[in-house]
Structure 1
Amino acid sequence: MHVGGRAREGLRSRLNGPVLSVWAKHDRDFGGWLPLWRHMEDSAAVAGLVWDEWLPLSVRRLVADALPEGEADARRLAVWLAGVHDIGKATPAFACQVDELADRMRDAGLEMRSRKAMGPDRAMAPHGLAGQVLLGEWLEERHGWTVRQAGQFAVAVGGHHGVPPEHAQIRDLDGHGQLLRSSGPSRDLWRRVQGELLDACTEEYGVRERLAAWRAVRLPQPVQVLLTAVVIVADWIASNPDLFPYFPEDRPRSGAERVAAAWRGLDLPAPWTATEPTQDTERLFASRFDLPPGASVRPVQEAAVDVARSMETPGLLIVEAPMGEGKTEAALAVAEIFAARSGAGGVFFALPTMATGNAMFPRLLDWLERLPGADDGGRRAVHLAHSKAALNEGFADLMRRGGRVAAVDMDAPSSAPHRRADGGGPAPGELVAHTWLRGRKKAVLASFVAGTIDQLLFAGLKSRHLALRHLAVAGKVVVIDEAHAYDAYMNVYLDRVLSWLGAYGVPVVVLSATLPAARRRALTEAYAGTPGRGAGGDERFAEVGEESAYPLLTAVSPGGTPVLRRPASSGRGTDVALEPLDDDLDVLTDRLGRELAGGGCALVVRNTVRRVLETARALRVRFGEDAVTVAHSSFLDLDRAANDADLLRRFGPPEKFEGRPAGPHVVVASQVAEQSLDVDFDLLVSDLCPVDLLLQRAGRLHRHPRGAGQRDRPPGLRTARCLVTGVDWATAVPTPVRGSVAVYGAYALLRSAAALRPHLNGDARRPVRLPSDISPLVQAAYGEKPDIPEGWADALEEAFTRFERHRADQAERAATFGLGPVGRPGRPLFGWLAAGVGEVDDTPAGRAQVRDSRESLEVVVVRRREDGGLTTVPWLPPDGHGRERAGLALPVDQVPTAFAARAVAASGLRLPMRFSAPEVMDRAIAELEERCVDAWQTKESHWLAGQLVLELDEDCQTRLAGFTLSYSRSQGLEVTRA
Structure 2
Amino acid sequence: MVETAEQPWGKLSETGERHPLVDHCLDVAVTFRALLDAPGIARSLPRLDPIQCERLTVLAFLHDFGKCNRGFQAKADPAARDTAGHVFEGLALLWDLGALWPPGWEALLGDIAGWFKDEEQAKQMLIASLSHHGRPVSESDYQHSGIERKARHWWTASGGYDPLAALDAQAATVRGAFPLAFGEAAPIDATPALQQRFAGLVMLADWIGSDTQFFPYRQSPEEDRLALARAAAQRALERIGLMPPARREPRPFETTFAFRPTPLQAALAGEITPSDDVRLLLAESDTGSGKTEAALAWFFRLYAEARVDGLYFALPTRVAARELYARVLQAIEAAFEPDERPGPVLLAAPGYVKVDGASPALAAPEGTLWDDSAQDRQRERLWSAERPKRFLAAPVAVGTIDQALLSALQVKHSLLRSVCLDRHLLVVDEVHASDPYMREALKALLKGHLARGGWALLLSATLGESAAAEFFGRPPQPLADAMQRPYPLLSSRTKAWPMPASRTRSIEVSGSPSLTDDAALLPGLTSALEAGARVLVVCNTVARANALFRLVEATLERDHSALLAALFQLDGVRCPHHGRFARADRERLDAAVTAQLGKGSADGPRLLIGTQTLEQSLDIDADWLITDLAPMDVLIQRFGRLHRHDRAHRPAGFSTPRALVRIPEGGLQAHLAQDGTLRGPAGLGSVYADGRVLALTLRSLQDAPQVELPEQARSRIERTTHPDAFATLPALWTAHGQMIEGKALGEIRQALRSVLDDKPFGELHYPDKNERVLTRLGRPTFELPLATPLRSPFGATIDRVSLPAHWLKGDSPPETLEAEASPEGLRFRIGASAFRYTRLGLEKDDA
For the aligned pair, the TM-score class normalised by the smaller chain equals 0.7 to 0.9
Question: For residues 196 and 665 of structure 1, what CA distance do their matches in structure 2 show?
Answer: 71
What CA distance in whole angstroms lies between the structure 1 residues aligned with 2:207 and 2:805?
Answer: 40
- Aligned to 2:761, the other structure's residue is in SS state coil
> What's the CA shift string for 1:42-90, capped at 9, x where partnerless?
44333334444xx3x1211332x343x3xx3454244333333334445
| Letter of the 1:332 counterpart | L
Question: Conserved in 1, the CA contact under 8 Å of 2:72 and 2:86?
Answer: no
- Where 1:717 maps in the other structure, the secondary structure is coil
Aligned partner (choices 676, 679, 682) of residue 739 of structure 1: 682
1:208 to 166, 174, 182: 182
Q: 1:310 to 1:395 in 2, by over 3 A?
A: closer
Cα separation, partners in 2 of 1:322 and 1:91, compared to 1, 3 Å: same
- Counterpart in the other structure of 1:231: 202
Partner of 2:229: 259
Q: Look up the match of 2:370.
A: none
Cα displacement (A) at 1:494? 1.7
Inter-partner Cα distance in structure 2 for 1:669 and 1:28: 49
| 1:479, distance to aligned residue in structure 2 (A) | 1.0
Residues 452-601 of structure 1: pairs in structure 2 closer than 5 A: 452-484=400-432, 486-525=434-473, 548-556=485-493, 562-570=494-502, 572-583=503-514, 584-601=517-534
Change over 3 Å in CA distance of 1:98–1:131 after alignment to 2: farther
Are the counterparts in 2 of residues 19 and 196 from structure 1 also a CA contact under 8 Å?
no
- Relative to structure 1, the CA distance from residue 458 to residue 129 in structure 2 (aligned partners, 3 Å threshold; closer, same or farther) is farther
Give the secondary structure class of the aligned counterpart of 1:646: helix
Matched, 1:80 2:58: yes
Shift of the alpha carbon at 1:336?
A: 1.7
Superposed displacement of residue 443, structure 1: 3.2
Q: Show CA shifts across 1:761-814 (max 9, x none).
A: 4xxx4511100111111111111112666xx52332232133223323433444
State the one-letter code of the partner of 1:383: L
Residues 678/137 of structure 1: CA separation in 2 closer, same or farther (3 Å cut): same
Deviates more, 1:666-675 or 1:952-961: 952-961
Q: Does 1:164 align with 2:136?
A: yes
Q: CA deviation at 1:511?
A: 0.7
Q: Name the stretch that deviates more: 538-547 or 341-350.
A: 538-547
- Contact 1:628–1:665 (8 Å) recurs in 2: yes
Q: What SS does the aligned partner of 1:738 have?
A: coil
Moved more, 738-747 or 322-331: 738-747
Q: How does 1:349-748 map to 2 (within 5 A)?
A: 349-372=313-336, 374-376=337-339, 380-390=343-353, 397-399=358-360, 439-484=387-432, 486-525=434-473, 548-556=485-493, 562-570=494-502, 572-583=503-514, 584-620=517-553, 621-622=555-556, 623-624=560-561, 625-629=564-568, 630-653=576-599, 657-661=600-604, 664-707=605-648, 712-728=649-665, 737-745=680-688, 747-748=690-691
Code of the residue aligned with 2:816 in structure 1: it is Q
When structure 1 is superposed on structure 2, of 752-761 and 270-279 the one drifting more is 270-279
Matched, 1:873 2:788: no
1:249-299 CA distances to partner (integer Å, 9 max, x unpaired)? 4462323553366458757244335877698xxxx32122254xxxx4222
Unmatched runs of 5 consecutive residues or more in structure 2: 99-104, 368-384, 569-575, 673-678
Instruction: Tell me how far 1:160 sits from its aligned partner.
Output: 2.3
Cα separation, partners in 2 of 1:314 and 1:542, compared to 1, 3 Å: farther
Distance 1:209 1:286, change over 3 A: same
- 1:760 is aligned to 702
Q: 2:74, 2:548 → 1: CA distance?
A: 69
CA distance in 2, matches of 1:649, 1:857: 30
Aligned to 1:820: 756
Q: In 2, Cα distance between the equivalents of 1:310 and 1:344?
A: 11
Q: Structure 2-normalised TM-score?
A: 0.81
Name the amino acid aligned to 1:670: T
What is the one-letter code of the residue matched to 2:660?
A: L
Compared CA separation, residues 160 and 786, structure 1 to 2 (3 A): same
Matched-pair contact (CA < 8 Å) for 2:793–2:825? no
Match of 1:715, SS?
A: coil
Q: Is the 8 A contact 1:348 1:476 kept in 2?
A: yes
Query: What letter is aligned with 1:721?
Result: R
How far is 1:512 from its partner?
A: 0.7
Aligned counterpart, 2:378: none
SS of the residue aligned with 1:442?
Answer: helix
1:330 aligns with 2:291: no
Instruction: State the Cα distance separating 1:98 from its structure 2 match.
Output: 6.7
Distance 2:438 2:752 in 1: 10
Bigger CA drift: 687-696 or 41-50? 41-50
- Structure 1: how far apart are the matches of 2:27 and 2:786? 47
1:62 partnered with 2:3: no
1:363 CA displacement: 1.3
- Residues 618-655 of structure 1 deviation map (CA, whole Å, 9 limit, x = unaligned): 333145432223222233333332222122112112xx
Q: Is 1:288 aligned to residue 256 of structure 2?
A: yes
Give the match for residue 851 of structure 1: 777
1: CA distance, partners of 2:581 / 2:751: 30
Q: CA deviation at 1:388?
A: 0.5
Corresponding position of 1:897 = none
Q: Does 1:48 align with 2:33?
A: yes
- How many angstroms does 1:489 deviate by? 2.5
Change (3 A) 1:715 1:42: closer
Deviations 1:504-558 (A, max 9, x none): 2111111110001111111222xxxxxxxxxxx66999999787321122224xx
SS of the equivalent of 2:522 reads: helix
| Aligned twin of 2:712 | 773
Give the partner amino acid of 1:330: A
Matches within 5 A, 1:94-109: none
* Structure 2 equivalent of residue 892 of structure 1: none
Secondary structure of the equivalent of 2:653? Answer: helix
Distance 2:109 2:419 in 1: 28
Alpha-carbon contact 1:690-1:744 (below 8 Å) kept: no
Q: Distance in 2 between matches of 1:495 and 1:441?
A: 21
Identify if the C-alpha distance between structure 1 residues 755 and 159 changes in structure 2 by more than 3 Å, giving closer, same or farther.
same
Cα pair 1:607 1:739 within 8 Å, conserved: yes
Q: Distance in 2 between matches of 1:452 and 1:219?
A: 33
Q: How far apart, in 1, do the equivalents of 2:478 and 2:794 lie?
A: 53
Q: Percent identity?
A: 23
**Distance (whole Å) between structure 1 residues aligned to residue 784 and residue 231 of structure 2:** 44
Provide the C-alpha distance between the structure 2 equivalents of 1:733 and 1:633, rounded to a whole number of angstroms: 30
Paired residue secondary structure (1:565): strand
Counterpart CA distance in 2 for 1:164 and 1:852 is 25
Q: Distance in 1 between matches of 2:247 and 2:351?
A: 34
1:439 Cα offset (Å) = 3.1
Instruction: Pick closer, same or farther for the CA change 1:821–1:589 going to 2, 3 Å.
Output: same
Q: Partners in 1 of 2:201 and 2:271 — Cα distance? A: 33
The amino acid across from 1:829 in the alignment is F
Report deviation, 1:355.
0.9
C-alpha distance 199-634 of structure 1, shift in aligned 2 (>3 A): closer
- After TM superposition, list the pairs within 5 Å mapping 1:801-950 onto structure 2: 801-816=738-753, 818-822=754-758, 828-837=760-769, 848-851=774-777, 853=779, 855-856=780-781, 872-873=790-791, 875-876=793-794, 886=796, 903-905=797-799, 908-910=801-803, 915-918=807-810, 946-950=815-819
Change (3 A) 1:333 1:821: farther
8 A Cα contact 2:245 2:340, kept in partner: no
**Alpha carbons of 1:218 and 1:547: their partners in 2 closer, same or farther (altered >3 Å)?**
farther
Query: What is the distance in 2 between the residues matched to 1:90 and 1:860?
Result: 38
**Offset of residue 329 of structure 1:** 0.6
Query: Within 2, Cα distance between the matches of 1:139 and 1:37?
Result: 20
Contact 2:134/2:413 (8 A) holds in 1? yes
1:195 Cα deviation (Å)? 9.8
**C-alpha separation between the residues in 2 aligned to 1:714 and 1:466?**
53
- 1:110 aligned partner: none
2: CA distance between counterparts of 1:385 and 1:318? 23
1:347 aligns with 2:311: yes
Separation (CA, whole Å) in 2 of partners of 1:192 and 1:649 = 65
